[in-house]
Structures are given as C-alpha cells and as structure tokens.
Amino acid sequence: MKTKHYIGLIIVLVGTNLVTFSITRHWMKQHVLTPAQERIDGYVKVSAQACLENLRQIDAAKEMWALENNKQKGDVPMESDLKKYIPRDVLLPGQSFPVCPLHGFYTIGPVGIDPTCSVPGHAISVTR
C-alpha cells in the first residue's frame, strides 16, 4: 500500500517536471531565443548595408583614381592609391580605409569591375 503511494508521488513529480520543462522551453523560445535570433538577423542585415556602403565608396574612389590618373578599364589600383578619395566621414576613428563590419576581406579589383567583400551576401547589386 505504501509503495503504491510512492509510485503515485513519483509519477506526479515527473509529470510536473515535464510540464515545467515544456513551459520553460516555450517561455525561453518566446522571450530569449527568438529575440536573440531577431537581434542577430537585424545585425547581419545592418552589417550588409554598411558593407555595401563601403563597397560603393571604394568603387567611387576607383572611378576618381582612374579619372585623375588617366587609368583605363582593367587597371588595378592599390588600397594606398584610393585612400585619398575615401571621404573621412565614412571611416571609423583610426581607420584609413573602409573595413567590413563582419571582418570580410575586400578585393578592390580592376577599374570597371565592382569591388567585392569575402562575406557571402556582401556585394554591390548586379542591377545597378
């Protein structure tokens, strides 16, 4: 008779724990996991936008470098060639050249070809 009570108690405890676990998991998903994922998604989106702005500045700098130095399509400038054409206000303190917010690697490339970032999704649109 006593053992039966214990078994009943254990079943109630396990059941309560399962319900608690399920409620906790639901709460975590609603209040912790989803907002965190949304913040990450938001940061990725904002970073891609900031990187696109950098690529546009690099592209504009390439055009100005080509114009001022009588360069042709296919000529490749160095980062040091472009620094003076990058507006100071697009740079963070201490920077002399734009840096990808997700630490992608920029390839300046030849005049007439868009500069690229090594992070997937960071690119000047092909439909510009």
Instruction: Please identify, using beta-carbon distances, which residue of 16 and 49 lies nearer to Zn ion.
Output: 49
Stretch that binds Zn ion, among 1-9, 68-76, 89-97, 110-118 (CB under 5 A): 110-118
Pattern 4-43, Zn ion, x by CB under 5 A: ----------------------------------------
Least separation in angstroms between CB 51 and Zn ion? 3
Instruction: Please identify, using beta-carbon distances, which residue of 47 and 77 lies nearer to Zn ion.
Output: 47
Least separation in angstroms between CB 113 and Zn ion? 17
Distance CA 115, CA 98 (A): 12
Q: Which amino acid is at 116?
A: T
Q: For residues 85 and 60, is the Cβ–Cβ distance under 8 A?
A: yes
Stretch that binds Zn ion, among 2-10, 63-71, 72-80, 113-121 (CB under 5 A): 113-121
Cα 94 to the chain's mean position, in Å? 21
Q: For residues 58 and 83, is the Cβ–Cβ distance under 8 A?
A: no
Site for Zn ion in 39-58 (CB under 5 A): 51
Cα R_g (the chain), whole angstroms: 28
CA distances in angstroms from 10 to 2, 7, 77, 86, listed in the order given: 13, 5, 74, 70
Which runs of E-coded beta strand occur in the chain? 106-107, 116-117
Site for Zn ion in 70-109 (CB under 5 A): 100, 104
Footprint of Zn ion on this chain (CB under 5 A)?
51, 100, 104, 117, 119, 122
